[in-house]
């Protein structure tokens, strides 16, 4: 087990993770190139969300989610992406996660479907790729509007 520090809930705390959950991003992730080692914290009580925590910096972290949960059939064209840093893996072994932006009202959460994280779990390596695939957006809404909100929008459009 590895102890990782996080301020995920405000106060600094230690979280115990299994060694397999320590993932190396050899190039860091854009904007945070200085951190290359991350703990992928997946707890049943937070399903379907996970937390990606740089092991060197408790004050930074990312909420992650499997894009298939909000984009059915999500299958980005990886084109000429260089996946060599991920280690040898057939496509089936690669897992995808999107980074979420969570505003104060979580209903407005968006996911970066344009730049998913690819994770080779057996090799414990990851990379955030930037897709040329135009179908996917930098800010994809995670949640559908509630039915009453949908009605309100329809009403305002027809008046």
Partner 1 sequence: MLVLSRRAGEAILIGGEIEVVILGTDGGQVRVGIRAPREITVLRKELLQQVQAENRLAASTGSSAGMDSLVKQSDLLPRTAVK
List interacting residues with partner 1 (CB under 8 A). 7-10, 29-32, 45-49, 51, 59-63, 68-72, 80-82, 84, 99-104, 106-107, 109, 112, 114-115, 128, 130, 138-139, 142-144, 146
**Cα gap 155→149, rounded to integer Å:** 10
CB of 24 to partner 1, least distance (A): 17
Pairing assessment for the beta strands 2-9 and 11-17 based on DSSP bridges: antiparallel
Q: How far apart are CA 114 and CA 77, in angstroms?
A: 11
Lookup result for tokens 């520090």: 5
Select 92 or 103, whichever has its Cβ closest to partner 1. 103
141, 52, 124, 135: which is closest to 85 by C-alpha? Answer: 124
- Tell me whether residue 36 or residue 81 sits nearer to partner 1 (CB atom): 81
b/e burial code for range 93-120 (CB count within 10 A of at least 16 → b): ebebbbbbeeeeeeeebbbbbbbbbbbb
| Nearest approach, Cβ of residue 21 and partner 1 (Å) | 16
Q: Which residue number, 3 or 130, has a Cβ lying nearer to partner 1?
A: 130
**CB of 153 vs partner 1, minimal distance in Å:** 15
| For partner 1, the closer CB: 30 or 159 | 30
Kindly state the smallest distance separating residue 36's Cβ from partner 1, in Å: 14
Please state the closest distance from residue 133 (CB atom) to partner 1, in A.
12
Short-list 45, 50, 48, CA closest to 23: 50
* Residue 134 or 159 with smaller CB distance to partner 1: 134
């Amino acid at each position: 087990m590895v102890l990782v520090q996080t301020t995920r809930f405000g106060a600094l705390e230690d979280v115990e993770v299994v060694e397999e959950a320590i993932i190396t991003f050899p190039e860091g992730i854009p904007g945070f190139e200085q951190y290359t080692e991350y703990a992928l914290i997946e707890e049943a009580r937070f399903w379907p969300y996970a937390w990606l925590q740089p092991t060197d910096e408790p004050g930074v972290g990312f909420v992650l989610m499997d894009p298939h949960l909000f984009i059915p059939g999500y299958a980005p064209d990886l084109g000429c992406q260089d996946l060599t840093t991920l280690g040898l893996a057939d496509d089936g072994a690669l897992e995808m996660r999107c980074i979420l932006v969570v505003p104060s009202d979580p209903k407005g959460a968006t996911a970066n479907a344009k730049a998913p994280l690819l994770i080779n779990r057996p090799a414990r390596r990851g990379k955030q790729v930037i897709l040329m695939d135009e179908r996917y957006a930098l800010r994809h809404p995670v949640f559908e509007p509630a039915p009453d909100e949908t009605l309100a929008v329809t009403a305002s459009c027809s008046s």
